[in-house]
Structure 1
Amino acid sequence: MKIQIFCVGGTIDKIYFDAKSKYEVGSPAIGKLLAELSIHFSYKVDSLMAKDSLEMTDEDRRLIREAVMNSSSDRILITHGTDTMPETARALLGIDGKTIVLTGALAPAIFRDSDAAFNVGGALAAAQSKPAGVYIVMNGEVFDGDKVRKDVEANRFVGLAS
């Protein structure tokens, strides 16, 4: 099974240059994470953009949707910033025949205490086992892409009532 991984930026890919610097979105962290997770299935990684999700536009979401639709894989993982991940998930609804899973991190992957590896591992499992649809995997939970929001105050994702 081949999983297509699209990277679009967000905290998971953030880096810093010195103690006085702001964080900036760097190159995708997924390659290092996958090597550390000892993945034994085939996958392909493509970086579509390197943006903080608060800076994402409708045009960016259109590009992500187009990339997903044009992928030959029916199993898609997207690493994404957490602030607007639900908006992108909703923009991907209606793509038939593909299991699309979005994940990210609340702390940069370069941090020792980051949740990045845990979230990516859960997202990879969901991408391989869930039926076609759009999902968000965060905090050890799998959410339907249209029934989730980020609770900024609690710094976690929560499901929405049906």
Structure 2
Amino acid sequence: MTIQIFCVGGTIDKIYFDAKSKYEVGAPAIGWLLDELSIHFNYQVTSLMAKDSLDMTDADRAEIRKAVESTDSDRIVITHGTDTMPETARALHGIVGKTVVLTGALAPAIFRNSDAAFNVGGALAAVQSKPAGVYIVMNGEVFDGNLVRKDVAANRFVRLD
């Protein structure tokens, strides 16, 4: 089994240049995050785009869905910005026979106190253990991709009732 990892940008990949918080979405952070770990499974990283999730369009979500549907892997992790991650999860709903897990970070991976490595680890565990479906993994929780939203005020994800 090879886990397909698609990177689409977001905070996890942001690089800041100055104290005024000017940034750009850089190369996928997951490559160096995984290089630092003792990984014992096969994975492939593909960068689909480098966008802040607030800039994501329906066409971008269609491109992500096409990539998920087209890959031979039935285990897919997507690193994504957190602001519109639930919208992308819902756009992937209905893909049959594949386990898809979206994750990201509330602080860039290059920051010492980033949650990026923790979230990526959770996503990799979830993609190997959950049945087919679409999920979001953030901060130690696994959410059904259709039943989650980002609580911006609390800066965390919450289940929808």
TM-score (norm 1): 0.97
Q: Report the more deviating stretch, 144-153 or 19-28.
A: 19-28
Q: Which residue of 1 aligns with 2:5?
A: 5
Match runs of 1:141-156 below 5 Å: 141-156=141-156
Task: Output the aligned Cα RMSD.
Answer: 0.8
- Is 1:53 equivalent to 2:38 in the alignment? no
**Which sections of structure 1, spanning at least 5 residues, go unmatched?**
none
Q: Deviations over 1:24-74 (max 9, x none)?
A: 111100011111222110000000000000000000000000000000000
| SS of aligned partner of 2:36 | helix
Shift of 1:139: 1.4
| SS of aligned partner of 2:89 | helix
Shift of 1:17: 2.1
Q: Which residue of 1 aligns with 2:75?
A: 75
Count of residues paired in the alignment:
161
Q: How much identity, in percent, do the aligned residues show?
A: 83
Shift of 1:147: 0.3
CA distance in 2, matches of 1:135, 1:63: 18
CA distance in 2, matches of 1:39, 1:17: 31
Match runs of 1:2-151 below 5 Å: 2-151=2-151
Q: Deviations over 1:7-28 (max 9, x none)?
A: 0000000001233451211110
Q: Deviations over 1:114-161 (max 9, x none)?
A: 000000000000000000000000010000000000000000000111
